[in-house]
Structure 1
Amino acid sequence: MSQNLHLTITGRTKYETSVIDSLNYLKKHPNFIALKNEVDSIQKKLNLQGYIENTHNDILKENDSTFSTVFQLKNKYHRLYIYYKESDINKSILKKISQHVHPDYFVIDFSTVEKTLNYINQNQTESGFPFSKLRLTKVVVRDETSLQAELKTFTDSKKRSIDNIIIKGYEKFPESYLKHYLKIKTNRTFNLSEIKKKTARLKNLRFTNETKPPEVLFTKDSTTLYLYLEKTKSNTFDGFLGFGTNEDSNKLQFDGYLNLNLINNLNFGETLRLLYKSDENEQQTFEANTSLPYLFKSPIGFDFLLRIFRKDSSFTTVNQSAKLHYQINPKHKIFSGITFTESNNLLSENNISTLTDYRTNYFTIAYEFINSQSNSALFPVQSKYYLETNFGNRTQNNTKEQQSLFNLETFKIFNFNYRNCIYLRLTGSLLNSNNYLENELMRFGGINSIRGFEENSIYASLFSVLNTEYRYQLSNSIYIHSVTDLAYYQNKITESNEKLYSFGFGMAIITKTGLLRLTYANGKTENTPFKFSNSKIHISLNANF
């Protein structure tokens, strides 16, 4: 069994010894070479602190396992005067690292020499000179506490810019995303660290991955950037099945939906969403939603929505929306457009005065924020915020009335550690009008709203829903969670307002097909007791292909 060697370093005075001890040097070493390297390391650290004249005695062997040496620190220099040429270094850079910048020299604390030179060199590199080098020459004593030196810079005669961009692995990667999303363009100053920051944005895209960091090929006359990407499976098929007991008939009822998302199948970055939903309240919904980013290679995209809703034999409502969007950066997006709604009463004999034909025209402004967490397969999106405002008028029986509609959807995951997190989601809508029609009220309830209630069973002129989950991750592909949902809504037609509660539990697992979720929830109103017959079991599968 080998014996560790013990090292003791002292100074010539108590003060010098305290300075050396503050460096927290290693005292135990496996062999003499490691011990000697530690002495050399201490000498370099003292140099950086301003003791550039320090010396030490020979390393003495006191016994078989103990060695010692004595340092003499000598004079400490606190400041360094660095002379430079304005043609080599921009004075604005120096002002960020020194409070004393003059036309031909600047002053820094001696302890920051290494940090200062690295900062200057980094700025030279980011300015298009990747082979930039710095060196301090002619170092001499200026006075008892100061030194002075000349700063020499060595750079290419020509600034480097990106001449070519070559994508490996996914050659059909949308060119517009390279230009407007990543903001990597030819003829721009070459800055590798900035390029790596930009390619990190690929983590927010669902249809591609970066397989390895960017690489650069330098030749005498050109600079070629290589990006290594791969196309990933981004299409999803989502559906759920819900079943519970009907309160009136006491019979088992089923409800569910199918949700198909097609993403980047044309290598344009486009998305197409098709949704069909049918529930136990004899309600059917069909929705087609498409988004076309970066039209004609511009930073502007287009979104179109068609939604058809039918309530048994009472009425149908058709919504059409057309918006232009601008992607400010990978996390932020703004929208502006128009929304048309037309609803028709299907009842031949209508005794309900609040159920009638109408049309609305809205001008829409919206904002969206999405923050991803690419290191989690179970929770790929860490937070989202979407706010939509609509202003316009409703036409009913040749009478126009001004209205406004506000929609909010936001959620955030608070990660405590690898296994534990809290999920909070807040959704809500508000319709402002002088009077209200039954077929224009918002509808909520169900797995994507307040769980434990029938799908779209609650009509409201105002509602807000808070979904909370405590999530415990059993592995990279399985988690269990609690269900605690709270809701408040108002219905101006019935002059009612009520609070809703839902409690339960659930689990989710990533299978070979996709994400399978199972949720059990029991919902109740404010003034009614819990009944197990009101429980809902929701099953959904989000499949990738």
Structure 2
Amino acid sequence: MIKKIIITLLFFFVLATKLISQNLHLTITGSNKVETAKIDSLTYTSSHPNFLSIKKEIDTLQKTLYKQGYIESEHDEISRINDSTFSTIFNLKNKYRLIHIYYNNIEKDILKPLSKDITPEYFSIEFSQIENTLNFINQKQTEKGYPFSQLKLSDISIVNNSTLKGTLVTSTELKKRQLNHIIIKGYDKFPESYLKYYLKIKPGKTFNLTDIKEKTAQLNNLRFASENKSPEVLFSKDSTTLYLYLEKEKSNAFDGFLGFGTSEDTNQLQFDGYLNLNLTNNLNYGESLRLLYKSDENEQKTFEANITLPYLFKTPIGLDLALRIFKKDSSFTTVNQSAKLHYQINPKHKIYSGLNFTESNNLLSTNLPTTLTDYKTNFYTFAYEFNKYQINNSLFPINSRFYLETNFGNRKQNETTEKQSLFNLEAFKILNINLKNSLFFKINSSLLSSDTYLENELMRFGGINSIRGFEENSIYANLFNVINTEYRYQLSNGIYIHSITDFAYYENQITDTKEKLYGFGFGFGILTKAGLLKLNYANGKNENTSFKLSNSKIHISLTAMF
């Protein structure tokens, strides 16, 4: 007996569970076939767990119809067809397609993107765009210094069967909000000139939080500082205070490489390399100092020192000073000095203007005729620089760069003066195919324009920073173009491998040489705790020779941040 009672209770329990969990079905129709088709096109949900969900779905559909212009639409009471089916009928009535919005205290430049029909009293938009229009106007009011601006439509009435009219009511502060104070948290010694001239954020400007967030994101492009928290704003009755949360980053860099290959003359292993030290913002001024020493297998030695002082005397003008000393074995020395003023237009664009002086001395004691002789040059320099960053990539932080420099002046040699021009171009671009695959393109070009040429004034290229597979600075030219290409594959956020395909063309009018060069190989990079370690293996040839493994070059470099 007890067993039968238990079985009966279990039966009724299972049956009740099925009844409770049974889905309810909703059917919505229009007052005619056209309206029913319109309702069906809105793809409402027909299956619901309970009656409350059905009621919410009908209310949602009603709001959707209102937004589309059926503001007079109504629906019948919800009818129960059977235990699991409910239905209702909508009467859509007339659809209003346009609305004339009468406005006051709204600038016309805000309305131009919204409407083609603008009069001094009203502007017309599609009824379905009301919500987007009000959001857009409210955003623009906020950007113009009214962060607490509120909008609403009132006095809505009928003009004709397809058009409504209404009044735009704005609730704004009587006075524009201006930025009164800027407080930096985390990096108290951050150079304030960067706020004023790099980000162009300063007290007294109209407050625009959207614009401020876009500008402060550019701080991550600086090597010595980053933003660790979004800006915050404190509003009081009479003032607006902006809080920026910054932190100082490791910005000093030590870069070096070791290269080795086989000498074509002696068949012995030869080494070359360089040391490159960059010190940035150690005085919390945004300044940078670069020291470079290079010694290569051709008995060439190079020393460079570069100093950049941004925003001198709290102005938008900065100063760049450079000294370069080059010695070619016992043949000649060349000393180059330059001074340039720069103006940072914005975080991406910079222009330069300055002077460039060069003096070269022949160290040979022979009196035989030669194209190697003492000379001096004076140039006026003009340059433009563009940099675009990709913040979230520690391996390749710069996405694209363009630098063009022009120099115009004279060369003095043996009591004679000759006009000369020098042009330099460096540009590269990374095309990101996806998160792991990318293509890298770089062009490096130089042209020295002169009636005559001296051996010790020619430009030198070749090596890891030029066409790979050749000795460092082993090629002399008065004109050269180098194109570097790489296919890069990131194995992880800190490891990548890449191909090497380099092309070059150069001219040397002293030796009457015009030649094409090629470099092919592969390489990889690893981001370690010590820094970025890179290794390149490349083999170079000219157009008239074949590849030889003995001509291959291996370049190893390490860039350490501290």
Quote how far apart the aligned CAs of 1:108 are: 2.0
Among residues 43, 47, 55, which one is paired with 2:66 in the alignment?
Answer: 47
Do residues 16 (structure 1) and 35 (structure 2) align? yes
Among residues 56, 69, 74, which one is paired with 2:93 in the alignment?
Answer: 74
Among residues 79, 90, 100, which one is paired with 2:117 in the alignment?
Answer: 100
What is aligned with 1:314? 331
Do residues 111 (structure 1) and 142 (structure 2) align? no
Quote how far apart the aligned CAs of 1:200 are: 1.9
Residues 194-245 of structure 1: per-residue CA shift (max 9 Å, x gap) = 1112112213211111111111101111111111111111111111111111
Among residues 433, 436, 441, which one is paired with 2:458 in the alignment?
Answer: 441
Q: Secondary structure at the match of 1:474?
A: strand
What is aligned with 1:158? 175
Quote how far apart the aligned CAs of 1:4 are: 6.0
How has the CA–CA distance of structure 1 residues 403 and 80 changed in structure 2, closer, same or farther, with 3 Å as cutoff? same
What is aligned with 2:541? 524
Residues 455-503 of structure 1: per-residue CA shift (max 9 Å, x gap) = 0001111111000000011111111000000001111100011111111
Do residues 236 (structure 1) and 263 (structure 2) align? no
Q: Secondary structure at the match of 2:492?
A: coil
Question: In structure 1, what residue type is equivalent to 2:455?
Answer: E
Q: Secondary structure at the match of 1:356?
A: coil
How has the CA–CA distance of structure 1 residues 158 and 444 changed in structure 2, closer, same or farther, with 3 Å as cutoff? same
Residues 45-75 of structure 1: per-residue CA shift (max 9 Å, x gap) = 2111101112233445556765544322111
Q: Secondary structure at the match of 1:329?
A: coil
Among residues 289, 296, 302, which one is paired with 1:279 in the alignment?
Answer: 296
**d(CA) in 2 for partners of 1:89 and 1:407?**
50
Quote how far apart the aligned CAs of 1:432 are: 0.7
What is aligned with 1:83? 102
Q: Is the 8 A contact 1:203 1:372 kept in 2?
A: no
Residues 163-184 of structure 1: per-residue CA shift (max 9 Å, x gap) = 1111111111111110011111
**d(CA) in 2 for partners of 1:31 and 1:393?**
90
How has the CA–CA distance of structure 1 residues 66 and 511 changed in structure 2, closer, same or farther, with 3 Å as cutoff? farther
- How many residue pairs match? The answer is 543
How has the CA–CA distance of structure 1 residues 260 and 31 changed in structure 2, closer, same or farther, with 3 Å as cutoff? farther
Quote how far apart the aligned CAs of 1:26 are: 4.1
Larger radius of gyration: 2
Q: Secondary structure at the match of 2:372?
A: coil
Do residues 327 (structure 1) and 306 (structure 2) align? no
Identity %: 69
**d(CA) in 1 for partners of 2:271 and 2:336?**
26
What is aligned with 2:413? 396
Quote how far apart the aligned CAs of 1:98 are: 2.5
Residues 60-113 of structure 1: per-residue CA shift (max 9 Å, x gap) = 55567655443221111112122233xx32244334422333333332221111
Q: Secondary structure at the match of 1:244?
A: strand
**d(CA) in 2 for partners of 1:5 and 1:543?**
66
Indicate the larger mover: 101-110 or 450-459. 101-110
Among residues 370, 385, 388, which one is paired with 1:368 in the alignment?
Answer: 385
Q: Is the 8 A contact 1:480 1:507 kept in 2?
A: yes
Quote how far apart the aligned CAs of 1:5 are: 5.5
Among residues 194, 198, 207, which one is paired with 1:177 in the alignment?
Answer: 194
Do residues 385 (structure 1) and 402 (structure 2) align? yes
What is aligned with 1:56? 75
What is aligned with 2:6? none
How has the CA–CA distance of structure 1 residues 316 and 45 changed in structure 2, closer, same or farther, with 3 Å as cutoff? same
Question: In structure 1, what residue type is equivalent to 2:146?
Answer: F
How has the CA–CA distance of structure 1 residues 234 and 67 changed in structure 2, closer, same or farther, with 3 Å as cutoff? farther
Normalising to structure 1: TM-score of the pair?
0.96
Indicate the larger mover: 89-98 or 352-361. 89-98
How has the CA–CA distance of structure 1 residues 261 and 22 changed in structure 2, closer, same or farther, with 3 Å as cutoff? farther
How has the CA–CA distance of structure 1 residues 65 and 288 changed in structure 2, closer, same or farther, with 3 Å as cutoff? farther
Aligned counterparts, 1:131-210, within 5 A: 131-210=148-227
Q: Secondary structure at the match of 1:377?
A: coil
Aligned counterparts, 1:248-287, within 5 A: 248-287=265-304
What is aligned with 2:11? none
What is aligned with 1:466? 483
Do residues 302 (structure 1) and 319 (structure 2) align? yes
Question: In structure 2, what residue type is equivalent to 1:127?
Answer: K
**d(CA) in 1 for partners of 2:49 and 2:125?**
39
Indicate the larger mover: 421-430 or 103-112. 103-112
Q: Secondary structure at the match of 1:119?
A: helix
What is aligned with 1:37? 56
Q: Secondary structure at the match of 2:345?
A: strand
Quote how far apart the aligned CAs of 1:378 are: 1.0
Q: Is the 8 A contact 1:84 1:104 kept in 2?
A: yes
Do residues 543 (structure 1) and 560 (structure 2) align? yes
**d(CA) in 2 for partners of 1:374 and 1:527?**
44
**d(CA) in 2 for partners of 1:288 and 1:3?**
81
**d(CA) in 2 for partners of 1:38 and 1:306?**
75
**d(CA) in 2 for partners of 1:449 and 1:493?**
22
Quote how far apart the aligned CAs of 1:508 are: 0.5
Q: Secondary structure at the match of 1:451?
A: coil
Q: Is the 8 A contact 1:365 1:390 kept in 2?
A: yes
How has the CA–CA distance of structure 1 residues 360 and 35 changed in structure 2, closer, same or farther, with 3 Å as cutoff? farther
How has the CA–CA distance of structure 1 residues 34 and 430 changed in structure 2, closer, same or farther, with 3 Å as cutoff? farther
Question: In structure 2, what residue type is equivalent to 1:111?
Answer: S
**d(CA) in 1 for partners of 2:123 and 2:111?**
8
Question: In structure 2, what residue type is equivalent to 1:453?
Answer: F
Quote how far apart the aligned CAs of 1:12 are: 2.6
**d(CA) in 2 for partners of 1:3 and 1:502?**
72
Residues 291-342 of structure 1: per-residue CA shift (max 9 Å, x gap) = 1111111111110110000101111000101000111111111111010000
Q: Structure 2: which 5+ residue stretches go unaligned? A: 1-17
After superposition, the CA RMSD in angstroms is 1.8
How has the CA–CA distance of structure 1 residues 152 and 69 changed in structure 2, closer, same or farther, with 3 Å as cutoff? same
Q: Is the 8 A contact 1:271 1:292 kept in 2?
A: yes
Q: Secondary structure at the match of 1:375?
A: coil
Quote how far apart the aligned CAs of 1:145 are: 1.7
**d(CA) in 2 for partners of 1:533 and 1:64?**
89
Quote how far apart the aligned CAs of 1:190 are: 1.0
